[in-house]
Amino acid sequence: MPPRKIIIDTDPGQDDAVAILLALAAPELQVLGITTVAGNVPLALTARNARVICELAGRPDIFVFAGADRPLQRTLVTAEHVHGKTGLDGIALPEPRMPLQDAHAVDFIVQTLRDEPPGAVTVCTLGPLTNIAMALQKAPDIAERIAAIVLMGGAYFEVGNITPAAEFNIYVDPEAAHKVFASGIDLTVMPLDVTHKALTTETHLQAFRDMGTRVGDAVAAWTDFFERFDKEKYATPGAPLHDPCVIAYLLRPDLFSGRHVNVEIELHSALTRGMTVADWWGVTPRRPNAMFMGDVDADGFFALLAERIGTL
């Protein structure tokens, strides 16, 4: 069976980095390109970080494109308080030597989806949805060509992590999220309800250290840095690895469970801007538009991470 073709849209971020490494370690996946967006840190850093990660994985052949440097309508909100000033704090890695591609990320997304057969490409989003919304706005025809979008974003039972009601990726650009959720594209959502059940432990970190590789050391260092914030915030023994859930779903969908429900994005309320209003209990007549995941086999998830990343 040929590998599944994917585009990764991302704002690295330590957990984004682990997701990218997992994708690059998976022979079942063919990464057509990585597009970057402003989110966890500004665009210049997300474009840098994506290339740092590719070089760490020994994949300088991957095309990396810079995209939107701000949300569609809002002032950019970033998360250096979680990820550090570079977005990849925790270990010092060389500056990337591989080039940033000249084309804009949105143009790459549109052209790739038009060049590939309909239904051939899955889009994996790990950050704010600005690039995807811009691509849909520029080329509405691509909506029918996308096989699926698998995204990390949103929350329902776990409520918010950047405001009381909103998860960071959706909060940064709720207008973009609204466009994507209203697009009719097949959506699978990895919200905080799932990612907060994929908590790192000292055993998990040691498994990465024991690999004895630069990649294993980097993942352990990133996770060790990243988890300090969430462990203090949530009083949990570990921190959630959000974005790798997207790639893990492509490799092992059996690890996840959820419901096909309607999800709307709140745009107007000062209290709940960016909230993903998931009709989990089916109490409205609104048409389901997303597979909204609610649970994950955490042991299976971390076993998959260790197995695949150990090959890099």
Q: Enumerate the active-site residues.
A: 242
Cα–Cα distance, 68 to 224 (Å, whole number): 29
Beta bridge partners of 293: 258
* Polymer length in residues for the chain: 312
Cα–Cα distance, 186 to 237 (Å, whole number): 35
Number of other CB atoms surrounding residue 27 within 10 Å: 8
Give per-residue burial for 277-300: e unless 16+ CB within 10 Å, then b.
bbbbeeeeeeeebbbbbbebbbee
Cα–Cα distance, 239 to 35 (Å, whole number): 26
Cα–Cα distance, 141 to 143 (Å, whole number): 6
Question: 148: part of which helix (H) or strand (E)?
Answer: strand 146-152
Residues 6+ apart with CB under 8 A from 92: none
